[in-house]
Amino acid sequence: MGGRPLDVLEASLDEEVTVHLKDGRAFYGALGGYDQHMNVVLEPADEADEDVLGELDVEQIDNTTIIRGDNVVTIRT
């Protein structure tokens, strides 16, 4: 799959993705949404360490995880 980054994310909505963060952690889940800053929403997400969720602007609400885009290194579909 090629194209502009936001086009790739649009094509990946509701599909399983892996989001790698600066601190080395990875989150897995269905891509529920994104914005132009690459903030992403995963529903549900796995591999979240609840003790450090607030340190990198990662917020978990119910089974939804919101990741701030400036923490994202890669998003793999």
- pLDDT tens for the chain, 77 residues long, are 568 989 999 999 999 999 999 999 999 899 999 999 999 999 987 764 444 444 556 666 677 889 999 999 999 98
- Answer for the pair 43, 52: CB distance below 8 angstroms, yes or no: no
Burial class (CB in 10 A: 0-12, 13-18, 19+), 44: middle
**CATH 2.60.40.1930 is the classification of domain 5-76:** no
Amino acid 11: pLDDT: 95
**Rounded distance between C-alpha atoms, residue 44 and residue 60, angstroms:** 9
pTM value > 0.85: no
Burial class (CB in 10 A: 0-12, 13-18, 19+), 61: exposed
Amino acid 17: pLDDT: 94
- Name the 3-class secondary structure at 8: helix
Spell out the domain ranges in the chain: 5-76
